[in-house]
Amino acid sequence: MAPAPDPGPSATAVAGGIASLAVWRLLAVAAPHLAALAIMVQTEADFGARTCFALAWGILNFLFITLLRRPALSGALSLTLVVVLVLLSRLKHDVVQMTANFVDLMVIDRDTAAFLFTIFPNLRWSVISAALVTIPLMYALWWLDPFRIRRLPALTCKLTCLAALVGYSFAWPDEAWRGYYDDGYLSKFARSGVTAVSDFINYGFMESDAVATGHLKVPLVDSCHPAGRRPNIIMVHDESSFDIREARGIKVPPGYGSHFKSFDGKARKFLAESNGGPSWFTEYNVLAGLSSRSFGRFSYFVTRIASGRVERGLPLALRRCGYQTVSLYPAYGAFMGARGFQTTTGIQRFYDAHDLGARDVEPDSFFYDKALQLISAQAPGTPLFAFVYLAANHFPWETRFRPDLMPFWRKPGNDPSVDEYLRRQAMSAEHYAAFIAGLKKKFADQPFLIVRYGDHQPEFSPHILDPELDEAGIGKKLMNYDPRYYATYYAIDAVNFEPVKSPAVMDTIDAAYLPLVIQEAAGIPLDPSFEEQKSIMLRCNGLFYDCGNGAEARRFNRLLIDAGMIKGL
């Protein structure tokens, strides 16, 4: 008997399968938006930030829909970009205490990628693994998505969201200090895109006059003839150090304050251009002799932008006078483009943490010992400029750094972080005294000029200077460059050398003038650019960018551009 014919799947089963597939396809469209909503609630702090998040989310989605016409795949791609941005922003905040913004994309370079892959060696494999998972998933969404949206309406919606974001960003511009908050990743990134592009269109990366009266002569290689013996010059970057007695009610150990005094017994002030973290602002100041504030919203990336472009500074001026120039750097050279920037300003030998054999954060004595070794290897009769960049007093101060050092330290009785900060300052003073003793012992017949400076105040300083202010009040003072938040110290010392007296060695100077002060104290003839800057310094009584509300700095930048010392800015 012949078998009965197979009736096939029932109509009910077919309908159920179709309904199930439809549900999965709808979920594929809805899931990215629901996930984005959850991210917005978790990461955006207020109505304005959430509004910008929603507009940025709309821009991403409608952009991909315009290209692909598939809403499910467009949502997934948008979500992927948002998640990547959040992760990278949190990573950046962990490293440099600031979230990602649009300028990170504008100045992205190989050094930044190399730095990330160096400090996070597993990151490369994480990226590859994520790609291997994401690509098949995107293909599945391409196949599952039943919807097709016309490109013109999608483009119209994208432009509408973009116009709304631009309008909102100009009406209520985001305050730059909020970049230090660990939240609002997408909203801050989106709003920074509007302001960054606007600023770049208006004046490029750096402010400068369109035309400047006068011009600078290009310094001749053989035009430097010092009157006396050229001293070895050592410039010491004293991490996060300032005289904490500026804050009321802080208890300090006996003898505190002597570390901030120069050879003549004077305590001098150094007005940095950052507070709490970005040491590279001051690195730019003291090597290039210029203001990071000229870069406006791009100032956070000043060393990366200046690399290969700002060919002017203290090391180049000293090389013209026969100096060899070296730098001892406590991090990887790719960090914020440090190696490229420093070599552009005239550093011939750049030793980063890897070159020096540094393991994590090293005490100041580690770098001083390395400096003594380099001086010992220096050719006789050739003066040396050494930039010694210290890091032991870097945050966090909640943990005890190298408890084996200074075991008999007694806490003065402040907040634990402040007491740890004071302990590290005491360590710095002790190691510096040992360094000076080493110079006197090992190089009894060689002259040395040593100049130290505090690169910025610690991140807690505003809270002890103005304990009654909230974050918004402190943020406004930071944005207005209240000098109480930016004043540290600079000190001049000497071994077998008498620093030259000069009107440029003022009681208070802007950070950009330190290269000028060093050359004057060392008796080094100034090149035409530093001669011009000296006249600005004397005319403005130690102020640089704040003199004429930036007018002097803009004019000087134009002179340097016309002289070929600044290129491509």
Residue 60 to residue 247: CA distance in whole angstroms:
47
3-state secondary structure 208-228: CCCCCCCCCCCCCCCCCCCCC
Q: How far is CA 353 from CA 332, 390, 539, in A?
A: 6, 11, 41
Rounded mean pLDDT, 262-281: 92
Task: Sketch the domain layout of the chain as residue ranges.
Answer: 15-203, 235-520+532-538
For the segment 404-413, the average pLDDT, to the nearest whole number, is 91
517 band by pLDDT with thresholds 50, 70 and 90: very high
pLDDT digit string (tens) for 416-447? 999 999 999 999 999 999 999 999 999 999 99
Q: Tokens at residue 363, please?
A: 């005490």
How many other C-beta atoms are found inside a 10 Å radius of the C-beta of residue 29? 20
Q: What is the pLDDT of residue 18?
A: 52
Strand ranges (E), 366-406: 384-389
- DSSP percent split of the chain into helix, strand, coil, nearest 5: 55, 10, 40
Whether residue 253 has a cis bond before it, omega within 30° of 0: no
φ and ψ at residue 467, rounded to 5 degrees: -65, -20
Average pLDDT over residues 456-464: 93
DSSP-assigned letter for residue 446: S
Strand boundaries in 349-473, DSSP class E: 349-351, 384-389, 448-454
Residue type, 92: K
> Residue 388: pLDDT above 70?
yes
Strand partners, 493: 450
Q: With pLDDT > 70 as the criterion, what percentage of the chain qualifies?
A: 86
Other Cβ atoms closer than 10 A to 94: 9
For the ranges 35-49, 53-67, 207-221, 535-549, which has the lowest average pLDDT?
A: 207-221
Q: Are 387 and 347 in contact (CB under 8 A)?
A: yes
Picking from 546, 103, 95, the residue whose alpha carbon sits closest to that of residue 300 is 103
Distance CA 55, CA 168 (A): 10
* Residue 515 · residue 289 · CB < 8 Å: yes
Classify burial at 373, counting beta carbons within 10 Å of its beta carbon; exposed 0-12, middle 13-18, buried 19 or more.
Answer: exposed
Phi and psi of 448, rounded to 5°?
A: -135, 140
Residue 270, pLDDT above cutoff 90: yes
Residue 108 neighbours by CB distance under 10 Å: 12
Mind giving me the DSSP string for 141-166? Answer: HHHH------HHHHHHHHHHHHHHHH
User: Would you state the pLDDT for residue 119?
Assistant: 47
pLDDT confidence of residue 473: 86
Give me the percent of the chain exceeding a pLDDT of 90. Answer: 57
pTM, full prediction: 0.81
Superfamily in which the 235-520+532-538 domain is placed by CATH? Alkaline Phosphatase, subunit A (3.40.720.10)
Q: Quick: pLDDT tens for 73-95.
A: 888 888 888 888 888 888 777 76
Look at 26-40, 488-502, 534-548 and tell me which has the smallest mean pLDDT. Answer: 26-40
Give per-residue pLDDT as tens, 290-338: 999 999 888 888 999 999 999 999 999 999 999 999 999 998 888 888 9
User: Given the DSSP bridges, would you call strands 324-328 and 269-271 parallel, antiparallel or unpaired?
Assistant: unpaired
CA of 396: how far to CAs of 4, 353, 399, 424, 508, in Å?
80, 19, 7, 11, 29
**For residue 448, what is the DSSP state?**
E
Q: Does residue 491 sit in helix, strand or coil?
A: strand
| pLDDT for res 116 | 53
CA–CA separation, 559 and 553 (whole Å) = 10
Largest CA distance in the chain: 122
8 A C-beta contact, residue 52 and residue 173 = no
β-sheet bridge partners, residue 267: 261
